[in-house]
Amino acid sequence: MVSLLAQGLVTYVGLVVVWKISKWLFVESSLECVPGPPAFSFLSGNVQQFLEEYGWKFYYDTLKSYGAVTKIKGLFGENMLLTFDPKALHHILVKDQLIYEEATAVIALNKLVFGDSLLAVLGEQHRKQRKMLNPVFSVAHMRAMIPIFYEVTHRLRQALLNQVKDGPKEVDILHWMTRTALELIGQSGMGYSFDSLEGDHNSTNIHPYAQSVKRFGGLVTGPATFVLCNYLIPYTNQLNLPRVKRWIVNCLPSQWVRDVKNITDLMEETAKDICKAKQKELMSDGSDEAKKDIISILMRANASAVKEDRLTDGEVVAQVATLVFAAMDTTSSALSRILYLLTQHPHVQEKLREELIQAKKDNGGEELGYDQLVTLPYLDAICRETLRVYPPVATGIRTARKDMVLPLSKPLKTTSGKEVTELIVPNGTTIFISILGANTNPEMWGPDSYEWKPERWLEPLPDKVGEAHMPGVYSNLMTFLGGSRACIGFKFSQLEMKVVLSMLLTTFKFEDTGKTIMWKLPGIASPNVEGKGVTQPALPIILSLLEKE
């Protein structure tokens, strides 16, 4: 039976691939005239280079050599676009956003893993979910989150104090930032504790959910996953036969499939347990009124919404897994990157520490509140500059759902030497939105655009930055994208980062270990120590307690 199943799947995938190849080979593409790097091979195009584990050189070289609009070759000659042209991005993310929807591959994978969550639905269903979730990410709600953020960060501080009680010590700061980010979203998002923040790497206190989510990121990035999500999962997702699909997954002789299945099952079961507990609170005698976590508020709002706006129980469960995954790795990546950069720039670390210490003195020695945290200029500059030069996710993906004309902000010189101000984008075209390219464009930010300089945010930005009208929701940057599918929790993430930094920088000193750190490119950027081979992501830093004055 398994043999017949395997043969059937191979035949199915083969037919899909043949159909796609025929389309690309025998139908002349309007994008063939767009300049781009030569394909690595006819079979893999540029996908292998573009999604290579440490493919930063190819990425940067492509941005610098070909500019804001580039043709990227996919499998068997498929034409894809890589762009950070401001006008094109406005049309893709805002004006024509219902046509340039989230990429088929991304939707397919998110639906498979998270169910019908905000990351996995399109059109009206996405609008309805977004409408329900928007209020819990308001500034008013962020203010209410501050005490929760500090409670978790105090536990982190104590855990790190235990690490250095006998003197300076090398610690894996990514490990601690990942655990902290998970506990922050757990407490503020669900009123649920994933991690006591006690113990070390081998501690039994670490929730299996944390271990699973950490593994999941490494499993679903790279060329193989891109191919699978583009050419198989979208078609299998159309089969509304969950038991059959589960049986097929159980039969497949693949360790990768089994790992993804086990992680997905654990995430779903944890989300269901959280929602069941919240439902019991809702049914109690108003005991949930004091609950300010995101899911409690969402479930109360959902219960009182009119029928057509109400989310199903499955959609609510899906939001739990999505919020945890989306908030954990991106925030821990950004925080780890900031702390790493502060070890490389000790004078910046000291200047930030002085600002934070003075702000606490001015506040009578108390922890800083929302209004104080968001107005500290150097802290804000460091966060903005890090998210500009090193966005946790370097690339977004969209798919054109029909033939479209895509306007450009400046003429593009084609391979024939002709200049064009718009492109005809065929139905089904994959478009890579270069977040990195938009954030570091020398034409906007100047010749030092690739350099990390927090001070640039302490003076007026170049006029061209504002004149470009980037459609991002944050600081003329594309880090959190724009339009209706922009990151809904970007203010939440910013506040988390500032609370954690305000606590750590006034307690500890962070120093470089001398080890070479390499950051992985696909998916969410994560650090590894050079020469360690295939290991779990890690970021060793020398941690020591600040000397008391």
| Residue among 74, 72, 80, 76 nearest 14 (CA) | 76
- In sequence order, the β-bridge partners of residue 336 are none
33 in a labelled binding site: no
Spell out the residues 6+ positions from residue 201 whose beta carbon is closer than 8 angstroms to its own.
Answer: 172, 175
The enclosing H or E element of 213 equals helix 208-219
- How many Å from the N-terminal Cα to the C-terminal Cα in the chain? 74
Report whether 282 contacts 288 (CB < 8 A): yes
Q: Is 287 exposed, middle or buried (0-12, 13-18, 19+ CB in 10 A)?
A: exposed
| Residue among 235, 230, 224 nearest 257 (CA) | 224
CA 36 to mean position of chain CA atoms: 26
Give long-range contacts, CB 8 A cutoff, 24+ apart: 43-49.
43/75, 43/76, 44/75, 44/223, 45/72, 45/73, 45/74, 45/75, 45/76, 45/77, 45/78, 46/72, 46/73, 46/74, 47/72, 47/73, 47/74, 47/75, 47/223, 47/226, 47/227, 48/223
The enclosing H or E element of 266 equals helix 255-283
* Whole-number Å distance between alpha carbons of 441 and 63: 9
- In sequence order, the β-bridge partners of residue 420 are 412
Tell me which DSSP letter residue 307 carries: G
The enclosing H or E element of 185 equals helix 173-185
Annotated binding residues for heme, written as ranges, equal 487
Annotated binding site: 487
